[in-house]
Chains A and B, each alone.
Chain A
Amino acid sequence: MLRSLIKSQQAGLLWIILLLGAILSLFAGSHPDRITGVPVNNFLNPYTLMQTATDASFFVIMAVGAMIVIISGGIDLSVGSVYALSGVITALVLRATGGFGGTPDVLVSGALCVGIGLTCGLINGVMVVGLRVHPFIVTLGTMWVFRGIAFVASKAESVLLPRSLTDTVKWTAGSDALYPIPMLVMLAVTGVGAVYLARTVMGRHIFAVGGNVEASRYAGLHIDRILIGVYAVSGLTAGMAAFIGSSYYGSASCADATGYELYVIASAVVGGASLRGGRGSAIGAMLGATLIVLIRQSIRTLHFDQNYEWILIGCAIVVAVVLDQTKQRLTERLKSEAG
């Protein structure tokens, strides 16, 4: 499986991530363990690696949904606001009802977050299809509307979630402070997204619509239904990210995930998606988000001046996309020459 991954479209990205990991491990330095006194590498230790995966997980879960929208030729700018709205409404409902205790809390809040996310996604999809307005405009509008509703509903207060949610998402698996749940959910969502896109008829239809919408229409595909579906999936993943994120941090506020839509779209683009549609993968979205989070991590691990963070991330996005496009052009040229 590893061999096939290395040979796949995302191989270049994987190399860059591994290379960055190697550089970080080499130059990170070390500190003595607080209990044993044994030197610990400042990057290559289970805590930092798990923290990096956790930080990436919220982006990745949303990026898989956003990637599906981008493959269909659309864009969803509202994912950060859907995240905030799902978290806030769930927290308010749990507060109003006094919670249900333990597992019911987890089930109810999971269902609420995902349900609200799905509803927001459906609203986006229906508006894109029904109003025949470019998705950039529709989701730009709903981005403000959803965050505004979260703002009004919460009165800008940060609403605490029941402790049982945090205890569940911060399950330590017997370790002292390693929390694998966000990473596991990230891997599961990526896996499901990869199978959905590559192995199901619906997935192939999405690629077809993104590649050539008119040809897809003539081929008899239900374009409107497919488009509503992709925005619904994007909302659903944003709701799922909200459930994991809000539970992990123990609170939800209307300011949550502000600006995350840009990180999520950047993750998809760095991960190989074409904004013209028809190209991309869930694994690419995961690798793209991981690379962006790793760049942020490296600035701190290598003790660079963190004021350069935005410059570095911006450059990395442009370089990644230019390299990817160059590779695409070369591949197409070689194919045409061979043909």
Chain B
Amino acid sequence: MWRRFVWLCAVLCFGASCGGETPTPQDNRLTIAMIAKSSVNPVFLSARTGAEAAAKELSTQHGIEIVIDWRTPPTEDGQVQAQRIAQAVNDGVDAVLISCSDAAKVTGAIDDAVARGVPVITFDSDAADSKRFAYYGVDDIKMGRAVMAELAALMGGKGKVAILAGNQNAPNLRKRVEGAMLEAQQHPDMTVAGTFYHVETPQDAAAEVVRVNNAYPDLGGWAMVGGWALFTQTLLTDLNSEKIKVVSVDGLPPELAYIEKGIAPVLWAQPTYLWGYESVRLIVDKVHLKKDVPIINPMALERVSMENIREWAKKLKGWGFSDVPEHLLQ
């Protein structure tokens, strides 16, 4: 037994030496660890497509090999994200691109990465108190305001509304709720029944909407600062477009049916593909071209309605979404 143990240790040492000799062309290679919030959320898969497209394009343009190393946890967990940042730095990546599930949890890991010479950029959800060199994403307070303003316009500035808000821990969602509440105060004839949170899955979100509708029969509108509920089809039948109006963020393929049916006449879509595409471009500017980049890089929202639904559908298809309704592409 003891002899076998010694042999195994010898193999371990041999492995270390073999591993050490494996050449990797680091001088000509830029490896970016991409850590989104959750790998089951389609918006982050679109961001990954954007990052990989930018990597391909910029590799050709600058004569280097840019690699996207996808390290997104299966479900949202700030602690796991912090662990993955540390692992990525240990594995020798050149930069980290992250959307923070819990800014407070990952700030230490981001600062450690920066201290060890690995620049970090945030997208979608920022860690403003960390040493990240830049953030790319929407202004969440403005986004919340835009959703509520649009809903107020649809409801003639009066009635009872509810806010659907997903995970309470996500700093970006908290800001969107804050923006929506600020905007609601501008409409004295509107009342907010409450802000409703849920586990960030489409089924949980849709179930929460139905529960709240039953509890508030006089509810006239939903301001959805996250789009999960409209990723299901059940609300196409459970919501009456003549009674309830919805304005939601995101404009993913499953949500387009809600525009067509008049339940959600307007979606404030984030071009999620650009999270990856623009962030990789900023990393290349900073790390490879040694340029100064702005700390805050705002992403513009796109207003999607029946007027431009076809153009938007074509964009989604181009960004790698496979479930875009075929009739909108013709």
A19 touches B8 (CB 8 A): yes
B21 touches A30 (CB 8 A): yes
Q: Is A9 in the interface zone, CB < 8 Å from B?
A: no
A29 touches B70 (CB 8 A): no
Complex A-B, nearest 6 residue pairs according to Cβ-Cβ distance, in ascending order: A31-B92, A156-B168, A25-B15, A251-B104, A41-B19, A26-B15
A31 touches B91 (CB 8 A): yes
Q: How close is A158's CB to chain B, nearest CB, in angstroms? A: 4
Which of A34, A55, A159, A297 sits near B117, CB closer than 8 Å? A34
Beyond A45-B90, A301-B91, A306-B70, whether A158 also contacts B83 by CB under 8 A is no
B residues near A251, Cβ cutoff 8 Å: 102, 104-105, 107
Q: Other CB < 8 Å A-B pairs besides A11-B1, A251-B104, 18 of them?
A: A25-B15, A26-B11, A30-B20, A30-B21, A32-B92, A39-B23, A40-B20, A41-B19, A44-B12, A51-B86, A54-B83, A155-B168, A158-B78, A166-B108, A170-B108, A176-B116, A177-B112, A300-B91
Residue among B19, B70, B74 facing the most chain A CB atoms (10 A cut-off): B19
Q: Is B141 in the interface zone, CB < 8 Å from A?
A: no
CB<8 Å pairs between A and B, sample of 15: A19-B8, A25-B16, A25-B19, A27-B15, A32-B24, A34-B92, A39-B23, A41-B15, A41-B19, A54-B86, A158-B78, A158-B103, A249-B104, A251-B105, A251-B107
B2 touches A3 (CB 8 A): yes
A residues near B24, Cβ cutoff 8 Å: 29-32, 39
A residues near B103, Cβ cutoff 8 Å: 158
* Complex CA–CA separation, A54 to B112 (angstroms): 15
A25 touches B12 (CB 8 A): yes
Residue of A with least CB distance to B9: A18
A residues near B2, Cβ cutoff 8 Å: 3, 6
A residues near B169, Cβ cutoff 8 Å: 156-158, 253-255
A30 touches B19 (CB 8 A): yes
Q: Is B115 in the interface zone, CB < 8 Å from A?
A: yes
A residues near B60, Cβ cutoff 8 Å: none
* Complex CA–CA separation, A160 to B104 (angstroms): 7
Which of A32, A166, A177 sits near B115, CB closer than 8 Å? A177
Q: Is A15 in the interface zone, CB < 8 Å from B?
A: yes
Query: When each residue 75-87 of chain B gets 1 if its CB lies under 8 Å from chain A and 0 otherwise, what string results?
Result: 0011100111011
A156 touches B197 (CB 8 A): yes
Q: Is B203 in the interface zone, CB < 8 Å from A?
A: no
* Complex CA–CA separation, A34 to B92 (angstroms): 8
By DSSP majority rule, is chain B's interface helix, strand, loop, or mixed? helix
- For window 12-55 of chain A, which residues contact chain B by CB distance below 8 Å? 15, 18-19, 21-32, 34-35, 39-45, 47-48, 51, 54-55
- For window 129-162 of chain A, which residues contact chain B by CB distance below 8 Å? 155-160
Q: Is B22 in the interface zone, CB < 8 Å from A?
A: yes
Query: When each residue 233-258 of chain A gets 1 if its CB lies under 8 Å from chain B and 0 otherwise, what string results?
Result: 00000000000010011110111111
B102 touches A51 (CB 8 A): no
Q: How close is B326's CB to chain A, nearest CB, in angstroms? A: 27
A residues near B115, Cβ cutoff 8 Å: 176-177
Query: When each residue 290-317 of chain A gets 1 if its CB lies under 8 Å from chain B and 0 otherwise, what string results?
Result: 0000000100110100110110000000
B residues near A44, Cβ cutoff 8 Å: 12, 15-16, 19
Which of A11, A29, A300 sits near B19, CB closer than 8 Å? A29
- For window 254-279 of chain A, which residues contact chain B by CB distance below 8 Å? 254-258
Q: How close is A81's CB to chain B, nearest CB, in angstroms? A: 15
B108 touches A51 (CB 8 A): no
Query: When each residue 54-92 of chain B gets 1 if its CB lies under 8 Å from chain A and 0 otherwise, what string results?
Result: 000000000000000111101001110011101101111
A-B residue pair count with CB separations less than 8 angstroms: 155
Q: Is B26 in the interface zone, CB < 8 Å from A?
A: yes
Residue of B with least CB distance to A160: B104
B116 touches A177 (CB 8 A): yes
Residue of A with least CB distance to B79: A249
A residues near B74, Cβ cutoff 8 Å: 306-307, 309-310
- For window 214-250 of chain A, which residues contact chain B by CB distance below 8 Å? 245, 248-250
Q: Is B39 in the interface zone, CB < 8 Å from A?
A: yes
Beyond A32-B92, A41-B19, A300-B71, whether A7 also contacts B1 by CB under 8 A is yes
B residues near A26, Cβ cutoff 8 Å: 11, 14-15, 18-19
B16 touches A41 (CB 8 A): yes
B90 touches A51 (CB 8 A): yes
A41 touches B20 (CB 8 A): yes
Beyond A19-B8, A158-B102, A158-B105, whether A47 also contacts B90 by CB under 8 A is yes
Residue of B with least CB distance to A166: B108
Which of B15, B18, B82, B116 sits near A34, CB closer than 8 Å? B116
Which of A6, A47, A256, A307 sits near B89, CB closer than 8 Å? A47
A residues near B12, Cβ cutoff 8 Å: 18, 21-22, 25, 44
A residues near B70, Cβ cutoff 8 Å: 306
B20 touches A22 (CB 8 A): no
A residues near B77, Cβ cutoff 8 Å: 255, 258
Q: How close is A20's CB to chain B, nearest CB, in angstroms? A: 10
* Complex CA–CA separation, A236 to B274 (angstroms): 47
A30 touches B22 (CB 8 A): yes
A22 touches B15 (CB 8 A): yes
* Complex CA–CA separation, A223 to B18 (angstroms): 56
Query: When each residue 107-144 of chain B gets 1 if its CB lies under 8 Å from chain A and 0 otherwise, what string results?
Result: 11100100111000000000000000000000000000
